[in-house]
A and B are shown apart, each in its own frame.
Chain A
Amino acid sequence: MDWIRQPAYRLVELFRSDPSKIVDYVDSVYDRIQRVEPLVKAFITIRSREELLEEAQRIAKNVDSYVLPGILVAVKDNISTRGIRTTCASRMLENYVPPYDATVIERLKRAGALILGKTNMDEFAMGSTTETSAFFPTKNPWDLSRVPGGSSGGSAAALAAGEATLALGSDTGGSIRNPAAFTATYGLKPTYGLVSRFGLIAYASSLDQIGPMARCVEDLALLLQVIAGFDPRDATSLPVAVPNYLEELNRLWHEEPRLRIAVLRSLVEVSEEGVRKVFEDALNKLCSRHECEDVEVPYRDQIVAAYYIVAMAEASSNLARYDGVRYGLKTSFEGRSWIDVYTEVRTKGFGYEVRKRIALGAFVLSAGYRDAYYLKALRFRRLLKEYFDGLYKRFDIVVSPTMPILPPRLGELVSDPLRMYMADINTVIANLIGCPAISIPIGFYNGLPVGLQAMSKPLNEVTLLYLGKELQESLGYANLVSEVIR
């Protein structure tokens, strides 16, 4: 039995008929990890095989009461896990062990899923390549000389390398979709407020969302089902009833509705040639069954600027709490002023990218500059939302390439920060306006994965899953696992 490539929904069926298989599955995944992890470096923390086998046996006794019995989930290391170190890939939190579980972790545990470990990421989710991790970069399983994208690069790489069946990521400006596109996996950024942020270590609170990552659409739906829903501990959580995503997906799949699809043409035009070619092929397939129309992307020059202003402003505030007093990096206190201590802790604890964003964020919020930057960015955000609200009245789906570039080589993008930030233009829109967005693998160019991004109006995740399913079935990119060759 090839446990590594099995989608979660099929594993669940198998385990229900034979619970003892959970142990075989867990064992196989651990064997796989032992083989590929030294090359991929997807995880910051992996729980011990013994501990997980013990949990697996406990769950095997009662498979019917769980939605995801025994399924191994890799969790991005900015999601709080009680008793499991949660570092945000930062020296600042290198030894921080949360005393509580994030809401999504509670829900995963209630569903019988097994938390396999914590995945690598850009430090505090600030980056698009997983290279700003304070510990080590993660490699793209499809080409070990390239980055897996970021900031949820560890989660995506773990899936693509067959080291986990499901994964959680977080997405502030594309941090789920970007690595999904770079690793030929599926990633969904839910509507803002659909998934509780309680326990997610904040980067930019008004943009952050936790989302599911998987190797097929069905698994994406399954995982979303478990984590979505109102949480009284998150005041921005939406008090809405969550649909049954798999049922709704199957219903649409049989009804085969014709969708009105808007293509963000100028974002296609500015993409790299390889991305464009693969995207056009996929688009042709879509257009043969659906109604496609090119639309303009307004304010193209302002989108990324506005995004970074908002993100950095909120980051400078959210990251103020790391001072070494209560948790995190420690230094000696005695006989020193607290300003001294704070300065040392924050200089040593944060990497360059994080310090840069904190400084810029503090600047755009400071008196005299706030109006010109922060408030203007907020006004722009409203404007952008109005434009897309208009689009969503005419279209069910808005598509573009997920990333305008192919996975870059290690070191290539991180050394060119403006190019790195500009590469986020396609993905940041969904975060700025709060709508859901999915990245779907649509092919390879010179062996490198390309993803298609689809956005829809808020709380219309089902339509995104439907589109994902259609592309998955017509293109065949489901349950891909890289061989990981050195």
Chain B
Amino acid sequence: MKVRIGLEIHVQLTCLRSKLFCSTPSNYYDKPPNTCVCPVCLGLPGVLPVPNKKAIEAALMVALALNCEIAPKIVFVRKHYFYPDLPKNYQISQYDGPGMIPYARNGYLTIVVDGVKKIVRIRRINIEEDPGRLTYPTGSMITSPYSMVDYNRSGVALLEIVTEPDMESPKEARAFVEKLMAILEYLGVTDTSIEGAFRVDANVSIEGGERVEIKNIGSMKDVEKALNYEILRQRKVLESGGKVLREVRHWDPHKKVTVPVRGKEFEEDYRYFPDPDLPPIIVTKEWLEEIRRKMPELPDARIERFTKQYGLDEYRANILVLSKWLADLFEECAKMYSDYKKLADWLITDFLRWVKELNIDPKKRSWNPRSIVSLLQAMDRGLISVRMAKELMPKVVAEGIDVEKFIEEQKISKITDEKLLESIALEVFRENPKAVKDALKNPKAINFLVGGVMKKTRGRADPELTVKIVKRLLEAVEKGELSI
């Protein structure tokens, strides 16, 4: 059964200093409620919106990066609905209708899933203002006797990016969101690590069923999880002979299920019309060219460059490039270290693992490429073993240590003292007579003994030397020169 998925993604332009239509700071994220507001974003009587030129430019940049057709004029419209988080009871947005047009349309984005390239079409992009936020004294809408409104978010510049239903699996949907977020990050318009910087709604239908809309997906991982759940649910309904009805469902990120949202009794009429307070903004070719010139290298171009310049395969290049900070770090390291593949592997695996394990926000850190390079070089020069390198990685990640200096100071370099290693190996032999017998029969079983030495030296034993010593001792046992 074929699955069709379309996405509607709301992204804040977090790069801006001020909101979309007033000069109030837009970095409201950790501010107390209703402290990031002014008469304009509170919709006080008599105020007027004035478009933030930087926001328009950022929006145009996104449209160019997503290969969109750009409207000759940016027309803002009023979308009317009453809701307490909306100070004017209309939202300044965009619409496709007589005298109205989204500022960007008909774009596309390429994603790679399991090595297969795919084009996802973008239907349109709107630029609009974010509403405020409702909060509840008890934390729940149902048990609270009243709700509270925080207008800090009100008026923050938002893009609404709508795709065609071109994705056929949750994995593809996640890949799309990841790619989109990477592009936004490369453009420097959105810091996707900020909570609330993006929200995803997904439309999903299975052959033979109606389209279901899932709202409130707040992270890239949840895009995949929510869709997996929903597709499974729809399959079960269809398999048991039921019908999938057209409805709106809510993603509950804690219970990891989608739940139906009470349907509207009637189709809402938003009474769109062009906002008379905002004359259309003319988009000239010259302006677009100027914006295009300011655009940085985008992920696709960088992936291609990584494969050419560093000889990486597309898989590694893709992983590095989709996290801009990681790709930047890779390139910094690559200036000092030329085994690019080894560098890429260590960054993608151990380094990244520790970044996650140590709960570090990689975008807020200034990384020390020298530390990573010093680790790889210490390994190359035989100063430390692979195992020691792995053990030192958290210190590289957390403290950015210079590995060579560190092992000198801590005297934790590799143990290459043959006599010392031999005495440790003997100890291992005595403690594990059965393993010695096994190793005499099966040469592969010597790994257990080597591992024993490593354990006793906390990984500092020179692995090659240890193997040599273990083999030599085994020979001695076999010949009867050594008894244990």
Contact = CB atoms under 8 A, between A and B. Distances in A.
Interface in B144-191: 145-147, 149
B82 A99 contact: no
B273 A205 contact: no
B84 A320 contact: no
Given A320-B88, A325-B84, A378-B99, A80 B45 contact: yes
Contact of A206 (B47, B51, B80, B276): B276
Interface in A207-233: 232-233
Contacts of B147: 338
B146 A333 contact: yes
A338 B82 CA distance: 9
Contacts of B269: 366-367
Contacts of A366: 269, 271
A234 B48 contact: yes
A99 B46 CA distance: 11
Given A320-B80, A338-B84, A198 B46 contact: yes
B46 A323 contact: no
Contacts of B44: 80, 98-100, 326-327
A365 B270 CA distance: 9
A375 B99 contact: yes
Contacts of A78: 46
A317 interface: yes
B89 A375 contact: no
Nearest to A362: B271
A172 B321 CA distance: 57
A323 B273 contact: no
A200 B273 contact: no
A199 B40 CA distance: 10
B39 interface: yes
Query: DSSP majority for the B interface?
Result: loop
Interface residues of B, number: 34
Contacts of B271: 316-317, 362, 365-367, 370
B24 to A, nearest CB: 13
Interface string A324-342: 0111000001110011001
A99 to B, nearest CB: 6
Contact of B145 (A79, A93, A334): A334
Contacts of B196: none
B47 A198 contact: yes
A197 B48 contact: yes
Nearest to A343: B82
A388 B327 CA distance: 62
Given A198-B48, A201-B45, A375-B99, A320 B145 contact: no
B49 interface: yes
A318 to B, nearest CB: 9
A329 B84 CA distance: 15
A95 interface: no
A11 to B, nearest CB: 29
A321 interface: yes
A313 interface: yes
B78 interface: yes
Given A236-B277, A362-B271, A317 B45 contact: no
B45 A235 contact: no
B98 A371 contact: yes
Interface of A: 78-80, 86, 88, 93, 96, 98-100, 102, 197-202, 204-206, 232-236, 313-314, 316-317, 320-323, 325-327, 333-335, 338-339, 342, 362, 365-367, 370-371, 374-375, 378
Q: Which 6 A-B pairs have the closest CB atoms?
A: A320-B89, A206-B276, A205-B276, A365-B271, A201-B45, A80-B46
20 contacts: A78-B46, A98-B44, A99-B39, A100-B39, A236-B277, A236-B279, A317-B80, A320-B82, A320-B89, A320-B90, A321-B43, A322-B45, A325-B149, A326-B43, A326-B87, A327-B45, A365-B273, A366-B269, A370-B273, A375-B99
